[in-house]
Amino acid sequence: MLFALQAVFCGGEEGTESAKSYESGQKQEKIPLQLIIIGPPGAGKGTQAKKIKEKYAIAHISTGAILRAEVAEETELGNKVKDVMERGELVADEIVLDLIEKRLSEPDCKDGFILDGFPRTIRQAEGLEPILSKRGNAQIRVVDLNVPDEVLMERLLARKRADDTKETIQNRIKVYHEMTTPLIEYYEKKGVLIRVNGDQSIEEVFKDIDEILTEIIR
């Protein structure tokens, strides 16, 4: 297992207070579990996010899935982002942030959520912070799935999705490393990063994630 253990213990005083069952004779309100899962294309973010959703009963928000649906339905937004996505480039921040803010306002996000594949840059993370601050004091946690590039290429070619050409995949991985490596360092400095070895079986990866989340919500 590969973890940044500081994610489990960050905010010591706040965590101690949250652990109290009662304060002034009243039971404390449950704090929602708010997660971000990041990793290169093919790391298994969607698969793990679905497993987390099933166990912890929180909303799974995949910006990629939302955007692909818009493209497939040929909506105004879909037509606007289609060429960008086919080139393996990032959709404009303001578009994705607007989608996320609207999605987080839906009832199923009240008890928590997991953001799958967003943010990808520090700028996006900074744009996300005021949106999350409206939701109260719940701590965000960031799961980072690490997978070697050659394994990513094998996985992505094997799934045979229309936009998964070899050239596009190579560009996506390149863009990921260029844009997202600073984001990982950004969250690590905040003490909320959980590093996980994604080059394992689906069940082994989930076991590693689950062990950490169990400690966080205890």
Catalogue the active-site residues. Answer: 45, 120, 159, 161, 172
Return phi, psi of residue 181, to 5°. Answer: -55, -45
CB 205 within 8 A of CB 198: yes
CA distance 117 to 99: 13
Cα dist from 139 to 14, 15, 106, 151, 209, whole Å: 10, 10, 19, 32, 17
Place of tokens 């990793």: 39
My answer on whether omega of the bond before 119 falls inside 30° of 0, hence cis, is yes
Note whether 213 and 52 are within 8 A (CB): yes
Q: Which structure tokens are listed for 201?
A: 């079986």
Distance CA 3, CA 5 (A): 5
User: What is the Cβ-side half-sphere exposure of residue 108, based on CA atoms within 13 angstroms?
Assistant: 9
